Amino acid sequence: MKLESYSTYDAKAHFSELLDKVAARRRIIIRRRGRPVAMLVPLPDEVADLATYLAGLEAEGLVDPPRRSRAALAPVVRCPGVLRRFLAERD
């Protein structure tokens, strides 16, 4: 089976379409400057717990662990009334 191949530019521009193709059990190669750098593959049907599956891939050395945990992300700061003040200053 010949794999479909997309440049990083095309992959970003058509990402939703690529996900639809992967959901239909197809594999997609992503190329940067003409060289393959990644492959989008469908998850196995038996994957019930994504965290456990990813931990297994990390243990096999197939994926790198996250660089930082989700807890390390800063919360979004809400500024009530900022849009109203912006529009008032604009007039």
Q: What is the extent of the structural domain holding 16?
A: 1-43
What does the DSSP assignment read for the chain? -PPEEEEHHHHHHTHHHHHHHHHTT--EEEEETTEEEEEE-PPPTT---HHHHHHHHHHTTSSPPPSS-GGGSPPPPP-TTHHHHHHHHH-
Question: Is this model's pTM higher than 0.85 or not?
Answer: no
Q: How many domains would you assign to the chain? A: 1
- Does residue 13 sit within a domain? yes
Weakest mean pLDDT among 10-14, 17-21, 33-37, 73-77 = 73-77
For residue 43, the model assigns a pLDDT of 83
* Residue 66 falls inside a structural domain: no
> What digits encode the pLDDT tens for the residues 36-68?
999 998 888 777 777 888 888 889 988 888 777
Whether the predicted pLDDT of 72 surpasses 90: no
What pLDDT is stored for residue 91 in this prediction?
A: 67
Residue at 73 is within a domain: no
CATH, residue 30 = 3.40.1620.10
